[in-house]
Structure 1
Amino acid sequence: MPAQALGLPLLPPSKAKGKDFRRGVNMAITGGTAMNFSFYKSLGIENLVWNHGSLDTQIQWFKELLPSICGREQSCKGYVRKSLFMFGAYGGNDYNVQLLERGLTPEQAMNYTPKIVGAIANGVVKLIALGAVHVVVPGIFPTGCLPIFLPLFGDGDADLDDAGCLKAYNLLPPDQVPQLDAPEAGGSPPAEAPQLDEAHVRGLLRPRVPDGPGAPQVWV
C-alpha cells in the first residue's frame, strides 16, 4: 500500500475500541456513498447494502470523535488545522447504485453527476468549517476496471480498452460535466463548465472557501 511504502502507519478504523486516534483515524464506511440513502430511497432503491453510511454520516462521526482526541472546541480547531485530510474517494458507489440497482447505462448515470459532485463539495465545506486547511479530494477508481463489472457488462474484446477495462464504463466520472445552478451547488457556480469533475469540485468550492494567506488548501 502507498502508506506503507512511505513508512506511514495504517490508520485505525474510527469505531475500533481502545485505539489512539491522535495520529490519525480512518473514517471510511464500506459501501459508503456521497449522497444520503434518503435520496436513493426516493428513487425506489430499498437495498440496504447502500445504506451503511454516507459522507454526512462520516463527517458526523468525526465531529463526535474530535472531543476525545483534542478536548475543547478551540483546542480542536488548532489540531484540525495542522492535520491532513484525505477526503474520499467519494462518488464511486453512487455510480454503482445507478448501474447495478437501476440498470442505467453510463451515459444515464452521468445525469446524477451534478448531485454527486455537489454533495462532495458540500462535505469539504463542512470539514473546512471544523478548521481543516489541508484537504485532498482524490478521484474515483476507473469503474470499467472493477472486477464486478467485467463479467456483467462485457460482451467481447470490442468493449475493452488496451488495459482490458470496459471503455464505456471508464467514462465515469465524465470528462465534462454540466454546470450546476445555485440550488444544486449551494452557492454560485463557476463561470465556465470545467473539464473534470475534480475540477468542478474546485469550482464549486471557490465561492465559499476564503483566499489569501492561511486560507484552506484543497487539492483535487
Structure 2
Amino acid sequence: MRHRFTRRTVVAALPLLLAACQSSNRASLPTVNFVSYSTPVEQFDYASAYAPLEDGGFQLPAIAYNDFDPAFLRQTVSSPGNYEPGTIVVSPSTKFLYLIQPDGTAIRYGIGVGREGFAWSGEATVGFKREWPKWFPPDEMIARDSSLEKYRDGMDGGPQNPIGARGLYLWQGNKDTLYRIHGTNQPQSIGTNASSGCIRMWQQDIIDLYNRVDLGAKVVVLA
C-alpha cells in the first residue's frame, strides 16, 4: 500500500499532521549552539546513489549530481559535534543535514531550507514518518498563491507533490510543530533558501535518510 503509516496513535490528527510546512509567525524553538565544521571521510557511489529510482509505483528521475557543488552530495564526514548516535543535526547556514553515526562520523546530505522570514531553529523529535504523503497547503500559503485553492483538501502523493517521496514530521512532546524534513520535486533548490520553513532534500536522499532514522529520533535545527 502506497500510503503506509508508521505511527498508529496519531491517525485521528491527520489533517494537522499532513499540513504543509507552516509559515506562521509563531515563536521559534530555542537556539542551539553548533560546531560548524566536519571533515570528509568517505564519498558514496553517486552514479548509484542518484540513479533513476522506482518507488511506490512512481518513477523518480536521476539527480544530475555533476551539476551541483559536490559539497551537497551525500557523504560520510566527521561528526559535527558531540551528539548521540541517531541524532539528526540540521545546519541551515551551511545547507547540510547530518545523521550522527555510532563511530564518530556522520552521513551528511545537502538540503534546501526556509526563505528569510520562514526559518526556525531548536529541538524536536521525529514523531511521525510517512511514504508519499498527501500535501495540505496551509491557509497562509493559499492566501499568497490562490492557484493552490484547489488543493485545500489535499494533493495526493506523487512526483508532482512538493512534499516528495518521504516525510519526517517534527514534534515537540505530543505536539506537531508543523515543520517537516521531506523530499522535493525541485532538485535545483538544494543548497538554497527556498522553502516555507521546512527542510527539503533530494528524493534519493530523503529515502536514504528515512530508511536510517527511527521514530523518536532527536532533531536539532541550528540557528
Q: Fold conserved (TM > 0.5)?
A: no
- Smaller-chain TM-score bracket: under 0.3
Q: For the pair shown, which has the larger CA radius of gyration, 1 or 2?
A: 1
TM-score, normalization by structure 2: 0.24
